[in-house]
């Protein structure tokens, strides 16, 4: 069986495609999710972020455990991934909402930038602290810079999805609340 191999060129191409997707999605989000709407999304943002990061970390750990993550993390990390994702999503959802509301820039762009920056600590530790690019055969030979740049756009893309889902969850909650209040018995 041939295993997939990621190259530096592939990483740069993926970064370019992801950056383009980010640009389009954040332009749309900035148009539809202005400051007033964003301010009402604390709980949808936290919940969506928790579920999304739980799903991402669980999928990545369980899918790539044998070929990658099991080579750089202790066995407990496989089972801790969902809990870590939930905790990180709740904390960052709250923090990004708080900062997004307070800075004088469009909140969705603040969240996108913070999401991109979120990628650095984990990727820096993985690449330089745990030798991920050497320990994982599918990443052998990938340049650290290309991996870090792709990770930045990748995490910004995740936060674009989280913002869109939080906005939809907020709209659904508002609709259900209106419907419930309208049909409530006297």
Q: What is the pLDDT of residue 184?
A: 67
Which pLDDT tens digit goes with each residue over 119-167? Answer: 999 999 999 999 999 999 889 889 999 999 999 999 999 999 999 999 9
Instruction: Check: CB of residue 45 under 8 Å from CB of residue 69.
Output: no
Range of the domain at 64: 45-173
Flag whether 4 is in a domain.
no
Flag whether 10 is in a domain.
no
For the chain, the average pLDDT equals: 93
Flag whether 83 is in a domain.
yes
Q: What is the pLDDT of residue 174?
A: 82
Flag whether 34 is in a domain.
no
Domain count, the chain: 1
Flag whether 20 is in a domain.
no
Q: Per-residue confidence at 1, pLDDT binned at 50, 70, 90? A: very low
The owner of tokens 């539809």 is 32
For residue 11, give the H/E element and its range.
helix 8-32
Flag whether 7 is in a domain.
no
Which pLDDT tens digit goes with each residue over 95-120? Answer: 999 999 999 999 999 999 999 999 99
Rg (Cα) of the chain, in Å, rounded?
19
């Amino acid at each position: 069986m041939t295993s997939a191999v990621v190259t530096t060129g592939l990483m740069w191409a993926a970064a370019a495609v992801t950056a383009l997707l980010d640009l389009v999605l954040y332009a749309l989000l900035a148009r539809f999710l202005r400051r007033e709407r964003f301010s009402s999304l604390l709980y949808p943002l936290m919940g969506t972020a928790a579920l999304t990061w739980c799903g991402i970390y669980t999928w990545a750990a369980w899918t790539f455990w044998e070929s990658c993550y099991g080579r750089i993390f202790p066995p407990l990390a496989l089972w801790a991934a969902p809990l870590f994702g939930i905790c990180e999503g709740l904390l960052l959802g709250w923090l990004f909402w708080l900062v997004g509301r307070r800075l004088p820039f469009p909140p969705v762009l603040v969240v996108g930038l913070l999401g991109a920056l979120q990628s650095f600590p984990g990727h820096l530790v993985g690449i330089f602290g745990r030798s991920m690019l050497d320990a994982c055969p599918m990443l052998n030979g990938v340049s650290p810079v290309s991996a870090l740049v792709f990770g930045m756009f990748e995490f910004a893309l995740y936060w674009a999805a989280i913002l869109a889902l939080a906005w939809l969850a907020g709209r659904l909650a508002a609709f259900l609340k209106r419907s419930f209040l309208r049909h409530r018995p006297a």
